[in-house]
A and B are shown apart, each in its own frame.
Chain A
Amino acid sequence: MNLDDLAEKAEEYRARDAGITHEVRVCVAAACQSGGSLPVLEALKAECDSGGTCKVKGVGCMGLCSAGPMVAIAPKGGAIPDSILYREVKPEDAADVLASVGGAPVERLHTPTDQPFFARQQRIVRENSGLIDPESFTGYVAAGGYAGLIKALSEMTPGDVLREMTTSGLRGRGGGGYPTGLKWSTVAKMPADQKYVICNGDEGDPGAFMDRAVLESDPHRVLEGMCIAAYAIGATKGYVYVRAEYPLAVQRMELAIRKAKRSGFLGSKIAETQFSFEVEIRLGAGAFVCGEETALMASIEGLRGQPRPRPPYPAEAGLWGYPTLINNVETFANIAPIITHGGEWFAGIGTAKSKGTKVFALAGSIKNIGLIEVPMGMSLREIIEEIGGGCPGGKAFKAVQTGGPSGGCIPAAHLDIAVDYDSLKTLGTMMGSGGMIVMDETCDMVDVARYFMEFCMSESCGKCIPCRTGTWQMHELLDRITKSKGTHKDLALLEELCDVVQATSLCGLGQSAPNPVLSTLRYFREEYEAKLTAE
């Protein structure tokens, strides 16, 4: 199969909807489903004239999750900014919604799409989210899906793919920011008769739901990325590791694997070439540490998810001792467009050292709670005040927490920083997977630090002593300080422990566990001191 054959197929799929002019899209991702979007979908389907020019379909996440269930009326194939968007739709609104197709919007439900939340986004990873039916293989192909894979297989050597990845400047979206092209090239160079590709969907950071939305909204995109990676590095077997807490994501991924296999885009002799690649799903079981790559591999092997020292890195000795490529869900979702449009195109987006876009999950004390995708280098102020709409209820912004339990808080004074991997590090936090929790003036920063320490303490796997006992001790100290029983000595001991745990822990969990304490101490030390008692 070549690109022309695929284009023909896509045309054939699009022709099935030839008489359709408008689509009524109902979000069926997890947040909107829990708000009741399935009954809305049913009501709209029942109300819609089946022979007409309008088609009702379930789609993935549109982003503004706090306003769910979301419904969009779009000209066929149109993007979100071109559509009429409705918020908090109920089944009884179905008739009104359908009556507004091609006409004036229903005022009481209408959410303007020219507001910064939609207008300021640039969607690459989420370009299909909210547009296509995540459970439809033909929908993905009709939207240009699998063109990256077919291009790679029919027109490029594995070396070409690696070069394109290196040119793109893509860095790992799981938080580490390791150059993807370099990682792929290292695995590709390893001489081995068996190699593996693993997709890390163990999104454990509380407050982060980007990967969940990608898996629920566009699972084929992730599979396509994994397939291209397997071709480039010479792997024949892949695993998608997903949290068991995300049942809908698991279900949609299983369906996508089955359909891709049936259509010849997974399995043996993909697209009539000699390339073969099988993918299986592995479920997590509620362990934050399994997001660490060596722990994740142990979990796939059926063991306790405990990390091991690196080197050897997974690229040399990974799953069952074979060279293994591990990338995050969002990283894989970036691959197909890079192959389709070229590495140069991708490198033209973002900042000098952080290319492309990043998906962020906005949550906490912010008006527009949901998912956004913006170019790297956008300022925090634009993200929080313009796109996010600032803190609700007229409260003053105090800090934003990025990077989850491994990250830190950024105070108002630094809001003008351009967000990329390196700038956030200079502020003592990190990009992480993309969770942003906004805190307002009522938030107690010492309590926030205690909360994260409690998290790390209970998620520590117990293998190395600094993390196992260090997090426990630090939690005790923080607990004492929040209860106004701490002394200056306690605070000094806390700071010393932060250094020790950071320097001596085995894996990222322990090494970064002190970050929330260190960053709140750096910017909000007076809050700690106000709680201390005289000795």
Chain B
Amino acid sequence: MSLLQTRPALPSDDKRWKLVNAAMRRNGYAGHALIETLHSVQESFGYLDEPAMRFVAGSLDLPLSKVYGVATFYHLFMLKPKGRHACVVCTGTACYIKGAGSLVDAVEARFGVKPGETTEDDRLSVLAARCVGACSLAPAVVVDGDLAGKQTADRLVAKLEELA
């Protein structure tokens, strides 16, 4: 094995790959930077697809199986693109007791998607979070990054219907 390893070229001239590469370079292309690197891929592209995982595996000199293993182990990593809008329903204990389940049911009844799914027109992804730490505002949802507390089923469905 030669001491100088050749790293794979960036998959495309998309500037976002440079951000990913910078995250790996910061950690000296060490294998233990895998999770940091996957975070930066997801931040840049929104999800992890196969070319991205192949690129990361090649760059960090890790087997693809290991990269795939880590990407599927952690709940935060998404292997599929999200819809144009994302609604995260908190299902932590405090939210659950205050009716998070009825929020999930109402969204499913109206839009036909369960947590983890995206509507067919790519308009809305519904996700469930284990606890967003907003227990004082239970039940809480995060719609497109904005936290909204003290939700009811009607209010949430109305809010989601307004999204284009």
Contacts and interface: CB of A to CB of B under 8 A. Distances in A.
A175 to B, nearest CB: 15
A459 to B, nearest CB: 8
A34 B147 contact: yes
B70 A245 contact: no
Interface in B84-113: 91-94, 96-98
A166 interface: no
A90 B94 CA distance: 26
B149 A245 contact: no
Interface string B42-61: 00000000000000000000
Interface residues of B, number: 36
B69 A304 contact: yes
Given A34-B147, A245-B132, A361-B135, A286 B32 contact: no
Interface stretch (A190-198, A362-370, A420-428): A362-370
B97 A437 contact: yes
A52 B1 CA distance: 70
Contact of A204 (B39, B74, B130, B147): B130
Given A30-B133, A244-B39, A287 B94 contact: no
Contact of B97 (A34, A285, A364): A364
B73 A304 contact: yes
A126 to B, nearest CB: 16
Nearest to B62: A302
Interface stretch (A206-214, A494-502, A503-511): A206-214
A244 B34 CA distance: 15
A206 B74 contact: no
B163 interface: no
B68 to A, nearest CB: 10
Contacts of A435: 93
B137 A31 contact: yes
B38 interface: yes
Contacts, number: 126
A234 interface: no
A303 interface: yes
A198 to B, nearest CB: 14
Contacts of B138: 363-364, 369
B97 A365 contact: yes
B136 interface: yes
Contact of A206 (B35, B39, B93): B93
Interface in A416-459: 435, 437, 439, 443, 448, 451-452, 455, 459
Most chain A CB within a 10 A radius of its CB, from B91, B92, B149: B92
B69 A207 contact: no
Contact of B74 (A207, A285, A300, A452): A285
A461 B75 CA distance: 11
Given A34-B147, A302-B33, A283 B131 contact: no
B17 interface: no
A306 B30 CA distance: 20
A265 interface: no
Interface string A199-237: 000011111110010000000000000000000000000
B129 interface: yes
A364 B94 contact: yes
B133 A443 contact: no
B31 interface: yes
B70 A65 contact: no
Contacts of B147: 34
A30 B131 CA distance: 13
B134 A439 contact: no
A35 interface: yes
B36 interface: yes
B110 to A, nearest CB: 23
B39 A283 contact: yes
Nearest to A211: B133
Contacts of B136: 31, 65-66, 68, 363, 369-370
B33 to A, nearest CB: 6
Interface string A354-397: 00000001011100011000000000000000000000000000
B69 A437 contact: no
B94 A34 contact: no
A87 to B, nearest CB: 12
Contact of A285 (B32, B77, B91): B77
A207 B92 contact: yes
A155 B126 CA distance: 56
B154 to A, nearest CB: 20
B22 interface: no
Given A30-B133, A65-B136, A451 B93 contact: yes
Nearest to A438: B97
A206 B92 contact: yes
A288 interface: yes
Contacts of B74: 284-287, 304-305
Contacts of B137: 31, 34-35, 65-66
Given A245-B131, A361-B135, 15 more contacts: A34-B134, A34-B137, A65-B136, A206-B130, A207-B92, A207-B94, A207-B131, A287-B73, A300-B32, A302-B36, A303-B70, A363-B136, A364-B97, A404-B93, A437-B94
Interface of A: 30-31, 34-35, 65-66, 68, 203-209, 212, 244-246, 282-288, 299-306, 361, 363-365, 369-370, 401, 404, 435, 437, 439, 443, 448, 451-452, 455, 459, 461
18 contacts: A30-B133, A30-B134, A31-B133, A34-B137, A35-B149, A65-B136, A203-B133, A245-B132, A282-B36, A283-B39, A302-B30, A302-B34, A302-B36, A306-B73, A365-B97, A365-B98, A437-B97, A461-B73
